[in-house]
Structure 1
Amino acid sequence: MKFHLLVVYPVVVAVLSGSLHMAFNTPRHGEPVPAIKKDSLTRTSVFSIDDVERIKQFFISNAALPEQPKDSNWRPGYRHKCINTVRGALDLLLFGESSIPDSLYSRQPVLNGNFLNNDINALAKRLRDSHFIRSYDTVRFLSMRKGEWVPITKADPVSRGLQPVAMEKSLWNTLLARVGKERGFSVFLVSVCDGYHAALLTLDHRNTSELKVYWSDQTHKHPWRFYVNNKLEEVPGKYGWEVMHATGPEELLNGSARGLDAYMLYANKKFWCDCGRPNQKPDECCAGNCFPYIQIWRLQKTM
């Protein structure tokens, strides 16, 4: 990756950079859970300023590349697709460097799958088996059937074909439950619509009165947005790192951060209806393109 330094007025640069170098807490040890072998005394689930800055720059740089050709899983010089973007970011987050920006494969075997299992569930399993995942949670969706709320489950062939209408619980609150009283930054692997899309969520829980989360993926649906002195800023033409709050609209509005729960409901509805046609109309729905279901895994690294 190439980075260019712009030496202009320091205040302007600080605002446009959205720098995370704003006094982070030092990492704390995660509690060991030997029974399920997810934690150990040599792992931490609170990440440093340098860890988060590395993945931020990777997501922004990757999103700036041309979109990967439709007939290719990977070609050099193009933007990685979602699962490979996540793998590249995890390489930087967990190991400090990555070959994935210039290759499809990592030097770390835990991040590499073959063409049959290069998906988010297989990646999560490899990370869990190697103790890079601390905890796991899910969020199901609800729909209406005969005037009553019903959970959408794979075990129910009727409900699984229903359109998602509401989330069974808050994803935001689920993230907070995972971090508890720890303070700092936590990073979550997230599966949207049962693996239809993969992304990372970086939770800023340094200060309980200023909680926020950053959504990062390879698309141009998430502009580079951040807060400076409590003012929402956006860098025009840059994507891959969008700040979100507990509450807020599902759509991008000037001066207002999106709400994580509102966006996740919107995204699962959108993916559920996605026909995959180039000229699909906004109100066109294929009904059941993917299963509405969110999975999150809290990541941890070797200290």
Structure 2
Amino acid sequence: MTRMLSTLAALILFAGSAAYAQDQNQAFRVEDVERAKTFWVDNATGGNPIDCLLTLNKALKLLYDDPDMQLSSTVDKSMARLKALGRAQDPIVFGFYDEEGRKTFGVTEPKTLRESVWDTMVARSEGVIGYAMYGFSPLDGNHSVVLTLDNTDPRDPKVYWSDQWSTKGGWKLYATKEALDGEIERLTSSWWRSKLASLKIKFRSDAKLYPLIPTNPAPQPERPEIATLRVPRWNLRTRPTTQGNRPVELAQQNRHETFKVLTKQGAWYQLERADGTQVWAHERGLLVRPDPNWSPVAVEAADEAPVEDNEGAADALRVVRQ
């Protein structure tokens, strides 16, 4: 009975995970991102930038190619307008710990994020090739930012920070989790202290991340699939049948093994193991999904002959972005 309940719980968890994966951000088209990026860079480096909210609102109109889109007077209200238009999801709220590791609610100075903004963005784009965009409301909505995840090569994700600050140039690269999360923590702590010193007020320090939804998503390349076991015990076989076909092994010790999906025949998957051997398994025991580590950049680059000026890799990237 205990084993049956454990298996049932695992299947329920899998179903929930699959539903979540289907709800991931779609990718924005390169040309849409470039319109907004050009404005961000020109605005931040031109010597006379408009304020953060006007920067946000104008960039969003460019991103969606909708100059008449009605936005609002705060970042959170503008995001609410986008949500009403089907262009943004509910915010993901990030709290902080203080110096003693306690949750902060405004009374103590925020020091570290409770969850990683970087990890959240990367996880949400698993299986999606291209650019994911997020409205970002740090400092209790006292600043307006767009964060762009460049996931054109899932092996090497990058995040860009866009606002009106000249120090960030409109398109500031954060290439690691430590860099992005650390900057958010630094700014939040500094802002909290400045408000306390100037206004004698201890503000809350939550940050909100709003996943943006493209109206015209970028097409996705076909991705190879991988499979893992979704139950504790499952048979691997030499042929796609149970009739007169004894199991190769009872895959009890291989729950975390990842198989490359070669083909499907009815309800059976032909799988390739890490050592190159091939087996068959029934779909009921498998979790099959796009390979999150596959990169079209790597595939295209591998097809190119090595060249010293790196043109092969550049051409591969252009293929992805078309």
- Smaller-chain TM-score range? 0.5 to 0.7
- Secondary structure (helix, strand or coil) at the match of 1:151 reads coil
Q: Which has the larger radius of gyration?
A: 2
C-alpha change, 1:297 and 1:247, in structure 2 (3 Å) is closer
> Which runs of structure 2 are paired with 1:41-80 in the superposition (5 Å)?
45-67=26-48, 79-80=49-50
- Mapped pair 1:190 → 2:136: yes
- Secondary structure (helix, strand or coil) at the match of 1:271 reads helix
For 1:57, give the aligned amino acid: T
Alpha-carbon RMSD across the aligned residues, in angstroms, is 2.5
Say which of 158, 161, 173 aligns to 1:243. Answer: 173
1:167 aligns with 113
Deviation, structure 1 residue 287: 6.4
Deviation, structure 1 residue 260: 0.3
1:200 aligns with 146
Q: More helix per residue: 1 or 2?
A: 2
- Mapped pair 1:90 → 2:60: yes
For 1:132, give the aligned amino acid: R
- Secondary structure (helix, strand or coil) at the match of 1:181 reads coil
2:209 aligns with 296
**2-side partners of 1:46 and 1:135: how far apart?**
18
C-alpha change, 1:289 and 1:93, in structure 2 (3 Å) is farther
1:150 aligns with 102
2:194 aligns with 274
Q: TM-score, normalised by structure 2?
A: 0.56
- Mapped pair 1:218 → 2:218: no
1:177 aligns with 123
1:108 aligns with 69
Deviation, structure 1 residue 63: 1.4
- Does the CA contact (< 8 Å) of 2:122 and 2:157 recur in 1? no
What is the CA deviation profile of residues 183-234 of structure 1, one whole-angstrom value per residue up to 9, with x for unaligned ones? 1110000001110111000101121221101101001121xxxxxxxxxxxx
2:249 aligns with none
Identity, % of aligned positions: 25
For 1:56, give the aligned amino acid: K
C-alpha change, 1:184 and 1:167, in structure 2 (3 Å) is same
Q: TM-score, normalised by structure 1?
A: 0.59
For 1:128, give the aligned amino acid: K
For 1:84, give the aligned amino acid: L
**1-side partners of 2:213 and 2:180: how far apart?**
22
- Secondary structure (helix, strand or coil) at the match of 1:188 reads strand
C-alpha change, 1:53 and 1:274, in structure 2 (3 Å) is same
Q: Which runs of 5+ in 1 are unaligned?
A: 1-29, 34-38, 68-78, 99-106, 154-159, 223-238, 249-258, 277-283
For 2:215, give the aligned amino acid: T
- Secondary structure (helix, strand or coil) at the match of 2:102 reads strand
Deviation, structure 1 residue 149: 2.3
